[in-house]
Amino acid sequence: MTAAEPVAPPPRLSLTAQFLDVGGVRTRHIMAGEGPPVILLHGIGRSLEDFAPTFRALATSRRVYAPDLIGFGHTDKPPVAYSLPGLARFVRHYLDTVGETRPAVLIGNSLGGAVAQMFAAMFPARASGLVLVNAAGFGREVALSLRLCAVPGLGEWLLRPSPAGARRVTRSLFASPAFATPERIAHTLTLAQQPGAARAFLSVLRSIGDVRGARIEWQTELARRLCALSRPTLIVWGDQDQILPAHHLQVARQAHPHARFHLFEQTGHLPQIERESEFIALLHSFLKDNSL
């Protein structure tokens, strides 16, 4: 059966975010709701807005946290060396700062999915479950634009903010062009224009990959550690992802045979937006079935 063409709802990017100090890092975040804790982790170069519909849906029955990760969005971008373990430690410090010490479900998209996995591996007592959405960590293949960004000098040139670049990036996130709205394009440009954004982006990217793609060594080790934990896991993908190809889902099946899987048809890199209602229904079912 062929999935219906997704219809873009009116963009709802505006969320009432606040800032707090996380170990000296001015951090933008939102939190709301009461119940079991959930934390939403966005992808590289992105921000908490990528999980706006998910946040609203979950906050009716859960305590939901969504930060702009260090180096991204409107959070500080200190001139440090970025890495997956460093980002996972930042998530732990963030949760400590907001006073959330209960085990949480981590929901991560793209790079955020790799951060969620690393957090669970490093701090297993703090992770009750994982939802990995088109997540990094399941194969070498990545978009050509990201591989080129790994080249010193070329990456700096490619990441110069421009309206044309923002349109290109935003369009690449979705299977349907209807989702590349003027509001989302403007938001992408605003993120790219933040001081230090390109430096942080390239530092993270070059720590996990090179011109050939994502390095396999850290992925293999991470999968080994997570399999030993066997946390409830949901892994989803969009079949027309231009950033991380959908066949990575098959790698994920082999690495996490205990997990639940779903492939969204006619869907790109952000199924939580492009397939909003279906994604939220799947998420609620997973959380309920696993008493999370």
Using one digit for the tens of pLDDT, what is the confidence trace for 153-192?
Answer: 999 999 999 999 999 999 999 999 999 999 999 999 999 9
DSSP one-letter code for 44:
T
CB atoms within 10 A of CB 230: 11
**How far is Cα 144 from Cα 88, in angstroms, rounded to an integer?**
26
- Please give the domain boundaries of the chain with CATH numbers for all domains: 18-140+215-289 (3.40.50.1820)
**How far is Cα 16 from Cα 183, in angstroms, rounded to an integer?**
17
Using one digit for the tens of pLDDT, what is the confidence trace for 221-280?
Answer: 999 999 888 899 999 999 999 999 999 999 999 989 999 999 999 999 999 999 999 999
pLDDT of residue 2: 43
Amino acid symbol at 282? L
Phi, psi of 31 (to 5 degrees): -150, 145
pTM of the predicted model as reported, rounded to 2 decimal places: 0.94
Using one digit for the tens of pLDDT, what is the confidence trace for 184-213?
Answer: 999 999 999 999 999 999 999 999 999 999
Using one digit for the tens of pLDDT, what is the confidence trace for 230-245?
Answer: 899 999 999 999 999 9
Burial class (CB in 10 A: 0-12, 13-18, 19+), 144: exposed
